[in-house]
Structure 1
Amino acid sequence: MASRRRPADSVKTDKKKKKKKTTTSEETAELCSLVGDEQVKKSVQEAWSQRTAHTQGDLELDCQPFPHCIIKNFLGSETFVENLQRELMELNFHEKSNDLYKFKQSDDLKKRTEPHISGLRAALFGRFRSWLGEVLQVELEPVVDISCAKYEYTDVLLCHDDELEGRRVAFILYLVPPWQSSDGGTLDLYTTDSSFQPQSIVKSLVPSLNTLVLFEVSPVSFHQVSEVLTRDKCRLSLSGWFHGPSLERPPRHRGPPIPRSPHLPRDETLLLEWVNPVYLDISYQEQIQEEFEDSSEIQLKGFLKEEKFKEVKEALAQIQWTKRGPPNKRCYEAATMNTLPQCVKLSTPMCCGELRRWSNGGYTLLHDTEASRAEYALDLVLPFCGADWQSEFGGFTCYVANEEDEELLTVYPEDNSLALVYRDKETLKFVKHVNHKSLSDSENSLTCRSFYDFSFVYYE
């Protein structure tokens, strides 16, 4: 490609422009007066160490279900807040989606030179870090760990404790428009049991403009960002961690293994009664086997005879359901075994099996898996979901490589379509969070769509 040298005057002009563009002035972020008050600092320090509640002006310390501090009007200037919002909204955001969350996030802000972003960063990791370290009586490192997040309709961050080596205090600064609890996007705090597993939400904090929330990262600091339910607002926030010596953690809890049953040969006439005859044809079975061996997954549509499929679908309404947790691993409903009608009673030949119901808020996370306990496993899922279930609702199963973000396979629920997936212990799976779109608007009231599936894992 031909190129031309620009005139000298043009080069000089461009250099001047470039120099001007990269020259920025940092705006000073004035923090609320409470942070500079020695008496307030001593009071908060004493309350935090004794795990007692304390309120003073715009500052509130609550120790239930775990210690957390809320500071309203954190930044002293409304103009600074408005300019900070503007700079943040002009950043590039990346879609983040996996088993745990769905939202948009900026790159790390530690090198951003915008005047209000850099000014806030200097205040947080300078004056405020010193204040916080004295309150907690711990040496916090001058490490910048901060990014911006945008949560919009159906975005969510599921239950977790923020545990990672070196993280000592988590913080969130909200930069939202007027917000109500009905908009979703609340910061939900969980109680924990004697095994340090999350149980239930006991407090929900509604985002509020220019409010800072912080808490120590600990074995009991389980929290979530509930699904955003408003279509018209953006839940904008700055969040990150102050680093320092981690709190001591107990050994990670591991639940008991799911019981497995030995194989019991069954009368093959049962297959003739239930299964679509096309799948009992030997030549078709050979074709299925070849395809399955080639790709390790297959979906067998119309697997059950139509009359049997309808029989089971009608019987599902008679079943009682029990919610399964803990929420840092899973959230869905499993059938209560003694309420199962005869036509859906489960047997488990060398496998673990459940009849599950999925509705708004249901999910499983990657570490809710038995894969590490077997070299190879075969997943079998038979959904009953109806024609109105859409992929955008969630509830689909994703397979990923262990410790990698790469998605290997996604299996969407489809009526009477048997899915088989053969995997090794390095392949993990999760069921994507069922979002607010799964609710249908019927005469100005929301009704809950749901679907069912028979889920089995066969082990070698």
Structure 2
Amino acid sequence: MNCKRQRDDGENAEKGKKRKKREERVKLSPLLEDEDVKKGVKEAWSHRAQYSHGGLELDCHPFPHCIIRNFIQSDSFTENLQRELLDLNFHEKSNDLYKFNQSDDLKKRKEPHITGLRAALFGRFRSWLGEVLGVELEPTVDVSCAKYQYTDVLLCHDDELEGRRVAFILYLVPPWESSDGGTLDLFSTDDHFQPHSVVKSLVPSWNTLVLFEVSPVSFHQETLLLEWLNPLYLDVDYQSQVQQEFEDSSEIQLKNFLKEEKFKEVSEALRSTDVQWTKQGPPNRRCYEVASLVSFPQCVSACWELLCSEAFFLLLSNFTGLRLHYLSPSDEDEEEEKDQEDEEEREATGSSGDTPSANKNNKEPSTPLCVGELRRWAHGSYTLLHDGDASKAEYALDLLLPLSCPDWQTEFGGFTSYVANEEDEELLMVYPEENSLALVYRDKETLKFVKHINHRSSTLPIGDSCRRAVYDFSFVYYE
């Protein structure tokens, strides 16, 4: 019987020392160790602002990206790293989107300088990124080497894959000019979130690292959301918490939703006599007032546009898990990804057979759909259920954003009541609450009405009768 002798601790220690010698430790830019720089980058990134210090530049137009020059401190390390990379085996990658040569995954390489860089990227640099972004990044880091030669190309794409938060490029190129090609072109987007035009081109530069955020929200009308919303609700981790709570109960209220100054501005503007209000009827169906869109003050119109914007559709998708926009993820996306991977595998092996994705009907991107009203409620206002309501009921997401109701009491009425069809029991009651966004998902068996506002509401200690009113933005969004 053959038996391998177990190595004693001394031998294992010696082996460890030899292994460690094969890793050349790399020193990254001292800017990454500067606490003031870290704080500056974090603050600018969260507010989508500009920041620069030494060889570090952060810009958020058209989407957040950061340039770090002299990323590696040692010139000899960088030169040896380039030499090790060029000695790797490269495989040609070519399709409609790109043509270049790519190495295998660098996670398994044992070359000392590649190993040293990998350790820094997976460790110190990843930790720095997590602190700057204010999120906990997954431990997975994908890293490979791409070699571009004459006529090679990588066309417009978004880099978005499940779980990917940041993409980065470390350039190891000779002296380079924009006329040589190979620039990193950043695109603006149109109203449908499609790439529109190049607004910035970054020329490759030796030992320069470029990183940028990968997120469907980060470069799609992000400025609009930042201008209006409480920053808490733009935090991706908090959005996940909201989605979990919403999926558990099909409803949620998001307090202090708008920025305080924006909320006050809109509330005051609604009390203006310039807004035109029209009474809604007939009395056996409803009794409240709706504002005319053409009479909106500028800030009210801007808030309306926010709630109708595609950026807001995507935000609601993140809050609820519903697919309210064609850019929001769905189970079908995962199936299509798998079909694409299967197709690529068949092409690589030369096998034949039907491609599932080829047999699917191509779906046109759906246009976001919502309907909304800006309503005014006072003593005597209400809505009633009607016999025909059940036949018209649809799956939908209701949104309510009340304004000017700081002292509203439950006994006044004015709450939205959700009931099951042909049943008297109330499933849910949503009360007017100042600057609290209510989201409720209802099915075809759920109906709603607004409870009659009684005379007690007139006792509020507020001046004229117009100021006794409660206002709300009421929207319905459809998948």
TM-score (norm 1): 0.46
More strand by percentage: 1
More helix by percentage: 2
TM-score (norm 2): 0.45
Higher Rg of the two aligned structures: 2
